[in-house]
Amino acid sequence: MGIVYQLSGVIAGVIGMIFTVFLTFKVLEKEPGNEKMIEISKAIQVGAKAFLISEYKILYMIVGLFALFLGIANSWGMAIAFVFGATMSVLAGFFGMTIATRANTRTTHAAISSLGSALKVAFNGGAVMGMTVSSLGVFGLGLVFFISGEDTLIMSGYAMGASFVALFARVGGGIFTKAADVGADLVGKTEAGIPEDDPRNPAVIADNVGDNVGDVAGMGADLFESYVGSIFSASALGALAFSVKGAIFPFLVVSFGLISAIIGIIIVNLTVKSKEGIDPSKMLHFGTYIANIIELISVFILSKYIFGDFNSGVVILLGMIVGILIGSITEYYTAKNPIKKLAHTATSGAAPILINGMAIGMESTAIPVLLIAAATIVSYKLMGLFGIALSGVGMLSTLGITLAIDAYGPIADNAGGIAEMAHLDPEVRERTDLLDSVGNTTAAIGKGFAIGSAALTALALFASYINVTGIKSVNLTDSTVFIGALIGAMLPFLFSAFAMQAVGDSADIMVQEVRRQFKEIPGLMEGKNKPDYEKCVSIATKGALKKMILPSLLAVLSPILIYFVLGKTAVAGVLAGTTVAGVMLAIFMSNSGGAWDNAKKYIEANNFGGKGSMAHKASVIGDTVGDPFKDTAGPAINILIKLMSIVSIVIIPILIKFFE
Amino acid sequence: MGIVYQLSGVIAGVIGMIFTVFLTFKVLEKEPGNEKMIEISKAIQVGAKAFLISEYKILYMIVGLFALFLGIANSWGMAIAFVFGATMSVLAGFFGMTIATRANTRTTHAAISSLGSALKVAFNGGAVMGMTVSSLGVFGLGLVFFISGEDTLIMSGYAMGASFVALFARVGGGIFTKAADVGADLVGKTEAGIPEDDPRNPAVIADNVGDNVGDVAGMGADLFESYVGSIFSASALGALAFSVKGAIFPFLVVSFGLISAIIGIIIVNLTVKSKEGIDPSKMLHFGTYIANIIELISVFILSKYIFGDFNSGVVILLGMIVGILIGSITEYYTAKNPIKKLAHTATSGAAPILINGMAIGMESTAIPVLLIAAATIVSYKLMGLFGIALSGVGMLSTLGITLAIDAYGPIADNAGGIAEMAHLDPEVRERTDLLDSVGNTTAAIGKGFAIGSAALTALALFASYINVTGIKSVNLTDSTVFIGALIGAMLPFLFSAFAMQAVGDSADIMVQEVRRQFKEIPGLMEGKNKPDYEKCVSIATKGALKKMILPSLLAVLSPILIYFVLGKTAVAGVLAGTTVAGVMLAIFMSNSGGAWDNAKKYIEANNFGGKGSMAHKASVIGDTVGDPFKDTAGPAINILIKLMSIVSIVIIPILIKFFE
Please answer yes or no on whether B351 and A588 come within 8 Å at the CB atom.
no
Nearest to B581 among A348, A350, A581 (CB): A581
Q: Show Cβ contacts of residue B95 under 8 Å, excluding neighbours closer than 6 positions.
A: B128, B132
User: Which of A358, A372, A485 is nearest residue B500 as measured by Cβ atoms?
Assistant: A358
Cβ-Cβ contacts under 8 Å, A600 against chain B: none
AA letter at A386: F
The answer to whether ipTM exceeds 0.85 is: yes
Best mutation target among B380, B483, B557 (most A Cβ atoms within 10 Å) is: B483
Nearest to A580 among B366, B489, B624 (CB): B489
- Rounded Cα distance between A365 and B279, Å, is 48
Contact A348 B186 (CB under 8 A): yes
Lowest mean pLDDT across A215-224, B124-133, B319-328: A215-224
Query: If you measure CA to CA, which chain A residue comes closest to B577?
Result: A580
pLDDT in tens, B203-226: 888 888 888 888 788 888 888 999
The pLDDT tens digits for B233-257 are 999 999 999 999 999 999 999 999 9
Q: Considering only CB atoms, which chain B residues are within 8 Å of A356?
A: 500-501, 504
List the single best residue of B363, B473, B493, B590 to mutate versus A (max A Cβ within 10 A).
B493
Residues of B in contact with A389 (CB under 8 A): none
**Residue B615 host element (H or E):** helix B614-628
Partner-chain contact B182 A583, CB within 8 Å: no
**A322 contacts A393 by C-beta, under 8 angstroms:** no
Which amino acid makes up residue B171? V
**Do residue B581 and residue A489 have CB atoms under 8 angstroms apart?**
yes
Residue A186 to residue B351, Cβ atoms within 8 A: yes
**pLDDT digit string, tens, across residues B294-353:** 999 999 999 999 999 999 999 999 999 998 899 889 989 988 899 999 999 998 889 999
In the predicted model, what is the mean pLDDT of chain A?
90
Q: Are A600 and A623 in contact (CB under 8 A)?
A: yes
Q: Which of B355, B356, B515 is the best substitution to test chain A (most A C-beta atoms within 10 A)?
A: B355
Measured between beta carbons, the chain B residues lying within 8 angstroms of A621 are 349-351, 354, 621
Report the percentage of chain B scoring pLDDT > 90.
Answer: 54
Q: CA-to-CA distance for A125 and A104, rounded, in angstroms?
A: 8
pLDDT of residue A387: 95
Is the per-residue pLDDT at A276 higher than 60?
no
Nearest CA in chain A to B185: A351
Q: Which amino acid does the sequence have at A591? A: N
Please check whether residue B353 is in contact with residue B345, taking contact to mean a CB–CB distance below 8 angstroms: yes
How far is it, in rounded angstroms, from Cα A142 to Cα A153? 14
Ramachandran category for residue A197: left, alpha or beta (phi over 0 → left; psi -120 to 50 → alpha)? left
**Dihedrals phi, psi of A475, to nearest 5 degrees:** -90, 120
What pLDDT, on a 0 to 100 scale, did the predictor assign at position A491?
Answer: 97
Residue in chain B lying closest to A374 (CA): B483
Cα angle vertex A267, ends A264, A273, to 5°? 145
How many Cβ pairs closer than 8 A exist between chain A and B? Answer: 245
The partner residue sitting opposite A354, judged by closest CB among B497, B572, B625, is B625
Contact residues on chain B for A373, CB-CB shorter than 8 A: 483, 486-487
Q: Do A474 and B479 touch (CB under 8 A)?
A: no
Contact A621 B365 (CB under 8 A): no
Q: Are B572 and B466 in contact (CB under 8 A)?
A: yes
Cβ–Cβ below 8 Å for B362 and A494:
yes
Q: How far is B440 from chain A (nearest CA, A)?
A: 23
| C-alpha–C-alpha distance, residues B306 and B611, integer Å | 59
φ, ψ at A149 (rounded to 5°): 70, 45
C-beta of residue B227 within 8 angstroms of C-beta of residue B399 = yes
Whether B372 sits inside 8 A of A476 (CB atoms) is no
Higher per-residue pLDDT: B288 or B250:
B250
Q: What is the largest CA-CA distance in chain A?
A: 76
Determine the Cα–Cα distance for residues A576 and B576; give it in Å rounded to an integer.
11
Does B370 contact A477 at a Cβ distance shorter than 8 Å? no
Whether residue B398 contacts residue B257, with contact meaning beta carbons closer than 8 Å, is answered with yes
- What is the radius of gyration, based on Cα positions, of chain B? 23
C-beta of residue B403 within 8 angstroms of C-beta of residue B446: yes
Is B267 within 8 Å of B287 (Cβ atoms)?
A: yes
Cβ–Cβ < 8 Å for A277, A261: no
Whether A99 and A32 have beta carbons less than 8 Å apart is answered as: no
The answer to whether the Cβ–Cβ distance between B475 and A473 falls below 8 Å is yes
What is the pLDDT, as a whole number, of residue B546?
A: 87
Q: CA–CA separation, B256 vs B306, rounded Å?
A: 14
pLDDT tens readout for residues A98-152: 898 899 899 999 988 888 888 899 999 999 999 999 999 999 999 999 999 889 8
Answer yes or no: is pLDDT of A332 > 60.
yes
pLDDT digits (tens, 9 = 90+) for B596-650: 999 998 998 889 998 889 999 999 999 999 989 988 898 899 899 999 999 999 9
